[in-house]
Structure 1
Amino acid sequence: MAQAAVLLDQDQLRCTICLELLKNPVTILCGHSYCMGCIKGCWDQDDHTGVYSCPQCRETFTPRPALRKNTMLAEVVEKVKKTGLQPAPPVHCDAGPGDVVCDFCTERKRKAIKSCLVCLASYCETHLLPHYESPPLKKHRLVNATGNLQERICSHHDKLLEIYCRNDQQFICYMCTIEDHRSHATVSVATARTERQKQLGATQSKFQQRIQEREKELQDLRQAVQSLKRSAQAAVEDSERIFTELIRSIERRRSEVKELIKDQEKAEVSQAEGLLERLEQEIAELRRRDAELEQLSHTEDHIHFLQSSKSLCVPPGPGDLPSITINPHFSFESVSKCVSELKERLEDVCKGKMSKISKAGRAVGIYGCFTETGESSEARATAAEVETCLLCMKPLQEKHRLICTHAFCAACLERSVGRLGLQCPVCLKALSVVGDQPEGEMTEKHLKDCFGKECVCIMYNIPSGIQTEAHPNPGKPFTGIQTEAWLPNKYDSYSMTYKVDLKVLKLLQTAFEQKLVFTVAATDGAADRVVFNGIPHAGNLYECSESGFVEKVTAALRFKGIE
């Protein structure tokens, strides 16, 4: 029976501080028992405050209670030791790297499983039991173990940060609301969390919608890639078939020319061989008669001579061949010349067609970026808001926006112009075309700076008006611009004076005439306002005198086809 009683009291024999059998057990005023050394050590740490509390129920005592050994409990512990019945150790684990440590474990630090926002302490499984058993502690708010409890304490008042100040957007304690934040709009942290949760919910909905849109775009892009591959394969097969037919056609024409030459050769040779045969026969007949005449001339019989000479003196009959004249231009060189001309014409046609084929091939793209000249204002606005280069897909460096609204890094665009020529690398629109600059005027004054050196002040005046179909928002008014820009002087070694680079001035005049200097902005920051269209301009003499300014202006003009 005594053994059973001991078994029933085993949970009371463990010190909740050291988690071992009680040593010199003492029972404090609230009824909880501890090792004499453990509770003394805890209270020694509270001497500076003068307030002492129970580690389990947090009941406070003032002054420090006297500690006396609980002899009855000590006897029970001794009986347990003698019988060899040890209380089962609680299920726990030691704290590892990165774990939150229990604030009440003294010898072996256990891993905390909960943190109390009222006590501002973290507890392992054993030391957490009072928060589940003691009625006052049950009201405390427990959260998963966290190691940043001190960050939840007000640095000015050492109170829990449980209020959110909307004015200063920071967490405060209730004492702060009385002092520094008295007139501020404040809510509880829970209310602020609820409001922010709603905002995050709306943001999350946008994210999910964006994800769906992007997933659809991803699917469409994958389908487009497959379609493009099929189209490319079909184009290759069609090209192979067409070129094969073209080669066969040329082969047929080659055979026809060869056959024509051979037929003409055969006909002419056959006719010539017939003439040769008849000529040989005629020559043989004439030689026969010549021999007979020679023989007759030596006969002494006058009667025979007269009789025979009559028949030999008969001229050749009408069937004999007339005189033959050889054509001196019987060569086939004219045919070779015609074939050579055909070759040259075919090469010219191929060059012209290959240029169109190359352009058509480069124009094929899976994703189109506003390639139509009649694009909508929304599309124009979207293009204007792009802040990444459409070639390198990185943030724009020395941004240059073309008249088609596509923007590129200066270096990327320069490489593209060197490779593709003066055309937009995205929509292939020619750069040397008229822009969408509203009507206005450009004038200049030739002045002298403070050093007496020549300089030019350019004055632009574009009045406000109504946007046309070429602008972002057709039918809406736009705000004009009146501004001036300066061109620097440079040293002329020939005249040994400083003069204005008139070449740059003429290029700017050409760009203005082609409506390329200004455009109507589509971005929110300057919507429906006339702004510079990617060509650098200096607002004063200091800016235009900076190193490389003229080179930047000429480069921007060259990108627009002005050079």
Structure 2
Amino acid sequence: MSAASCLLSEDQFRCSICLDVFTDPVSTSCGHNFCKNCINEHWNSNDQYLCPMCKEMFNTRPDLKVNTLFSEMVSQFRQEAQQKASSSSSEQQAAKPGEVPCDVCTGTKLKALKSCLVCLTSYCQTHLEPHLTASRLKRHQLMDPVENLEDRMCMKHDKPLELFCKTDQTCVCMLCSVLDHKTHDVVPLKEEYERKKAELEKTEAEIQEMIQKRQLKIREIKQSVDLSKESADREKAEGVQVFTALKESVERSLNELIETIEEKQRTAEKQAEDFIKELEQEISELKKRSPEVEKLSHSEDHLHVLQNFPSLKAAPPTKDWTKVSVRPSSYEGTVVKAVAQLEELCELKRIQQYAVDVTLDPDTANPNLILSDDGKQVHHGDVKKNLPKNPERFSRCVFVLGKQSLSSGRFYFEVQVKGKTAWNLGVAIESIDRKGKIIASPEDGFWTIWFRNGIEYSARNNRPFRLSLKSPLQKVGVFVDYEEDLVSFYDVDTAALIYSFTDCSFTEELYPFFSPCVNDGGKNSAPLIICPVNQTV
């Protein structure tokens, strides 16, 4: 029997009325089988006695007979189905919170695999089987399991919501489309779903793009913060270095101020001591002479007075002290001068933080100039070298430019001029004339100061402007603020400002400019030397 039942399909054991496996199967005279209760209820609700399968009409209500063989086959099939269902149920998982449970399971509710929009029921794997095998049930509309299936039915007509009214933007059933929405633009639910899905995919892509842009912005902001932190750390380190140097300079300036004041006081005290010593010496001499004069002035001996008077009259020489005085030392301006010098030092230390590593560009050097291998020194040679005549090279004037350029921000460099009798220093724009006779003036793109004849310092601003310096320059600092159109020159040793060009109106790249001037028979043979900037004083 088991082998026979296995050869039959499940449809052959289903009642055509209830569509479930036969319960108490009975046969009509036409040879068709039905559940006993199903066929009786069918005939009880109809006036005629027709076979639901072949439509054969019976004049009288047929006497139903039990098909013993078929009943045994159904019983065997049901038993095997239950065993199979039991085995399948043990393999399936119970529905977890948030998952749709099977509406047919009793006891432990298994996880539903599909929901039927016709039956309005969710089925697990076992109870879904009839919908996958029974020909009538196969026509039912299955979907992924969902809860509240009644929400998918039209509340007015109790039909599945299969259409979408684009006019009212609502889901409708077939009856709604021909009654309430007859003149509206109605499309199948799937068609509108595909359109909406496309819109959602587009929206999702836009959202992802927005997310990516914002993630990129976050990375940019974080990178900016990191750069800001690096800059802050660098500024703090430079600040510590500069202010440590300033602290040492302040202490040294204070010591120098105190030493200056004390030296003035010592000089005044020494002068006063010398005057007092000289006065005391004269007093001692006068005290020795006073008794003799007094004795002679009281003598009544005329001859004695006259004979000794000449010797007493010729007294030892003394100074006229009426015009001699020791004035209190004046310290007015000493502190102000010291503070001014300190302010100049502070200013120099501030701009030294913009120091750049400048090297000479051999492609621009006049053929008479000799550059060191490291590009840090230049002097005039007696022999003109045979060099390529490139457009960048100064052919007539003994000039050379630095390799580094500036088109924004600030930069600073220092040059040793010690031992020279002539030189020229500053910055120049890229488009300067390099071939003819050049006047290094702002009108021609040069901002420089120069030294001539071992005595004269000048700045060329429209016309030569002679500079007054307290001491010969040993090292010159050159500072440029591109945005402020400013070029300033400093005496590095005294931290004093030498000269500033203002309102320069820069419009192109600037380059460091150097001219050691001619050798002058060896008098001006010392090189210009680009020095490392020492920010520690």
TM-score, normalising length: structure 2 = 0.48
More helix by share: 1
Q: Pick the structure with more strand per residue.
A: 2
Q: TM-score, normalised by structure 1?
A: 0.46
Q: With CA pairs under 8 Å and 6+ residues apart, which has the higher RCO, 1 or 2?
A: 2
